[in-house]
Structure 1
Amino acid sequence: MNLSDLVAFVTDKTNFLSPKNYLEFSQRYLDFASSGLQATIISQNEQNYCFFQYRQDGFFNITRPLNADLMYSAENSAILSERFLDTLQNAKELGETDQTHRTIIRNSIYTIQQTIGATLDALPAGQSNTARKINWDLFERLIRLLIQEVGIDCRSGVINAPVIVDGVEQFAMSYQHDLLLFQDNHLKVIGSVKTSSKDRLDKIFMDKFLYSRLTETTTPHIAIFLNDVQRKKTKHENQYGISATFLPGHFKGYTVKLNPLDGVYYCDIRPNMTSDNLLKAYIKTIDSLFCNDLQGLIAS
């Protein structure tokens, strides 16, 4: 596929109805990127990030930051097609020290979604809002499909939350959620899936607070993020760096004074999320969701 074909494919969300659809698209993009780019630009401040620049067929646009430590290339993309789904299906059997297979889960999810996002970056500037919406929708769908792949009843949509007063249901409120995890048709987990926490962190914490207060329940709430970095310009023309969009003070404040979330997962985790004692107690890489936490959350 050339870039125009990839853009036409990715903007039709009906092309992404199964994990296999996502994997096939990712492979096509990586094959294109191996020879079809104008340039690869290295971030000036964190050199493990880079940006792809397209040729005229992509309006010479520059993509979002791509973490080279996580993103597969055409040379090793066979891991996606040959090992990812098998590894995912056996995730709950993986131990803490099995970093080889955990890395496959983390890097595969990151690569799949970033090939979608990078393709959407080839759209004209006037379609940036459309690109963001498609990228968000497809990431939400990807996570839902992968949770279903490991045998869990995972849906999205509206639930009627019963408003309880003194143990008696008074009426119900409609709540829209990205992820609804069920066991035996009983709601067990509510989840938010976002490509970034930017401008969304407050609502995720408030959703748990309000749902818990209104329903007088302790239903677990989790959040899944792709990353929290964005491109920034430097003092020099045609040179770029990255900046973080995560707000650690907000996260800590809501965790301590409002309510902690029951799981926060990143594909591309930031350094302060692993060095700060409070942050690392609540934030994990996405492989931990599939390898450690899903079964316990469902059983709670």
Structure 2
Amino acid sequence: MLPLELDLRTPKRTLIEFKEITIRVLNHLPNVLTGFKVKNNYKLHISNSAGLTKSLRPINQILFIYKPDDFSTKFDELFLLLPTLKANGSSCTTRELFLIDSVLYTIQQAIGCGFDLLSTPNSSRKHVGNRFEELIKSVFNEIKISNKRQVLSIPYFTDEGNKVYKCENDLILSPFDKVKSSNSHLDIDEIVVSVKTTSKDRMGKMFIDKILLEKFVSHNQKVIGIFLNDVQRKKDDNISFTLVSNLFMVYTQFLTELEGVYYLDPPPNALIPPFNKHMAPFSRLVAIDIWKILSS
């Protein structure tokens, strides 16, 4: 078996692989966590070892499943639920919707906590983001939605000659058996997805990319954002929410409107008017909205 840090750095291809690494981290946490404070339902854990104190990212104690056995049971429930969502998603119970968000949140935050304990922020940040992209891709694979990562090459002209701008799209979701979009074309029926752990410093790029993509492909393009959360530590004993909600509404009204923004752990503003017209928990996307967006 790989050392835990190396396992965390290794790309994951399936939800089963994510289950395994999550259980490893959950079994490791009780051995190294030495204390915590609670702020607005978020636990701020610390680990003291050999005179070194490490602070973990805020953990939503309502969503996070701490016990490995509980996580394993709920993961298995989720694994059975996902293939049924296309046919039955609109009839999901509140408990089933919570199960989706809770299990997936636990997976991603367990990975983040593992890196907080075993690595440095600079070296782990990209890996945490990559695991989140892989996790979301694995979910869409399980619900049988064709998808792939796609880089769109956009040519432009300068005094020095022709050049190409590479527009990276984290995922393309398709209603077809195979994704039709290519490096030079986006299919009008497919969805461009931005998958990021947080919208901090990234929210505006989604709007600009949508405008740019539509200008290049000469048709309306569906674009959604998927985020883990918008919360961070503030010093040792507090948190702050990083969603700039008013700026989001300015972009929506004066730039362009996205097809939706979805969180595993939505910040408080996302769930109140007028923001809840545009933002929702991730469970709503996979249970209800994705099928409507793909067919529209």
Using the TM superposition, give the Cα deviation of residue 207 of structure 1 relative to its aligned residue in structure 2, in angstroms: 0.4
Q: 2:198 maps to which residue?
A: 196
Residue 179 of structure 1 contacts residue 192 of structure 1 at CA under 8 Å; is this kept in 2?
yes
Seen in structure 2, the aligned counterparts of structure 1 residues 57 and 17 have a Cα distance that, compared at 3 Å, is: farther
Q: 1:155 maps to which residue?
A: 148
Using the TM superposition, give the Cα deviation of residue 203 of structure 1 relative to its aligned residue in structure 2, in angstroms: 0.6
Counterpart-to-counterpart distance in 1, 2:75 and 2:143:
17
Seen in structure 2, the aligned counterparts of structure 1 residues 103 and 58 have a Cα distance that, compared at 3 Å, is: farther
Counterpart-to-counterpart distance in 2, 1:216 and 1:200:
24
Of 118, 131, 153, which residue of structure 1 is paired with 2:113?
Answer: 118
Q: 1:25 maps to which residue?
A: 21
SS at match of 2:90: coil
Counterpart-to-counterpart distance in 2, 1:263 and 1:240:
33
Residue-pair matches, total: 278
The code of the aligned residue for 1:42 comes to K
Using the TM superposition, give the Cα deviation of residue 172 of structure 1 relative to its aligned residue in structure 2, in angstroms: 8.5
Seen in structure 2, the aligned counterparts of structure 1 residues 206 and 60 have a Cα distance that, compared at 3 Å, is: same
Seen in structure 2, the aligned counterparts of structure 1 residues 251 and 174 have a Cα distance that, compared at 3 Å, is: same
SS at match of 1:64: coil
Counterpart-to-counterpart distance in 1, 2:15 and 2:275:
31
Seen in structure 2, the aligned counterparts of structure 1 residues 39 and 298 have a Cα distance that, compared at 3 Å, is: same
Q: 1:166 maps to which residue?
A: none
Seen in structure 2, the aligned counterparts of structure 1 residues 55 and 11 have a Cα distance that, compared at 3 Å, is: farther
Counterpart-to-counterpart distance in 1, 2:221 and 2:116:
37
Counterpart-to-counterpart distance in 2, 1:121 and 1:181:
32
Using the TM superposition, give the Cα deviation of residue 80 of structure 1 relative to its aligned residue in structure 2, in angstroms: 3.7
Counterpart-to-counterpart distance in 2, 1:81 and 1:248:
32
Gaps of 5+ in 2: 157-162, 181-186
Matches within 5 A, 1:135-284: 135-160=128-153, 174-182=166-174, 183-184=176-177, 185-186=179-180, 187=187, 188-233=190-235, 239-275=236-272, 277-284=273-280
TM-score for the superposition, normalised by structure 1? 0.86
Of 35, 39, 45, which residue of structure 2 is paired with 1:40?
Answer: 35
Residue 198 of structure 1 contacts residue 246 of structure 1 at CA under 8 Å; is this kept in 2?
yes
- Deviation string for 1:94-125 (max 9, x for gaps)? 3366111111111111000000000010135x
Q: 2:6 maps to which residue?
A: 8
Using the TM superposition, give the Cα deviation of residue 25 of structure 1 relative to its aligned residue in structure 2, in angstroms: 0.9
Using the TM superposition, give the Cα deviation of residue 130 of structure 1 relative to its aligned residue in structure 2, in angstroms: 1.8
Counterpart-to-counterpart distance in 1, 2:248 and 2:265:
17
Identity %: 29
Seen in structure 2, the aligned counterparts of structure 1 residues 272 and 58 have a Cα distance that, compared at 3 Å, is: farther
Using the TM superposition, give the Cα deviation of residue 51 of structure 1 relative to its aligned residue in structure 2, in angstroms: 2.3
SS at match of 2:150: strand
The code of the aligned residue for 1:254 comes to Y
Counterpart-to-counterpart distance in 2, 1:131 and 1:61:
14
Runs of 4 or more, structure 1, over 6 Å off, are: none
Using the TM superposition, give the Cα deviation of residue 270 of structure 1 relative to its aligned residue in structure 2, in angstroms: 1.5
2:76 is the counterpart of 1:82 = yes
Residue 35 of structure 2 contacts residue 47 of structure 2 at CA under 8 Å; is this kept in 1?
no
Seen in structure 2, the aligned counterparts of structure 1 residues 57 and 283 have a Cα distance that, compared at 3 Å, is: farther
Counterpart-to-counterpart distance in 1, 2:137 and 2:240:
29
The code of the aligned residue for 2:53 comes to F
Residue 75 of structure 2 contacts residue 103 of structure 2 at CA under 8 Å; is this kept in 1?
no
TM-score for the superposition, normalised by structure 2? 0.87
Q: 2:286 maps to which residue?
A: 290
Counterpart-to-counterpart distance in 2, 1:84 and 1:141:
17
Moved more, 73-82 or 140-149: 73-82
Q: 1:167 maps to which residue?
A: none
Gaps of 5+ in 1: 164-170, 234-238
Using the TM superposition, give the Cα deviation of residue 260 of structure 1 relative to its aligned residue in structure 2, in angstroms: 1.1
The code of the aligned residue for 1:86 comes to L
Residue 192 of structure 1 contacts residue 223 of structure 1 at CA under 8 Å; is this kept in 2?
yes
Using the TM superposition, give the Cα deviation of residue 12 of structure 1 relative to its aligned residue in structure 2, in angstroms: 2.6
Using the TM superposition, give the Cα deviation of residue 53 of structure 1 relative to its aligned residue in structure 2, in angstroms: 2.0
Q: 2:85 maps to which residue?
A: 91
Counterpart-to-counterpart distance in 2, 1:174 and 1:260:
23
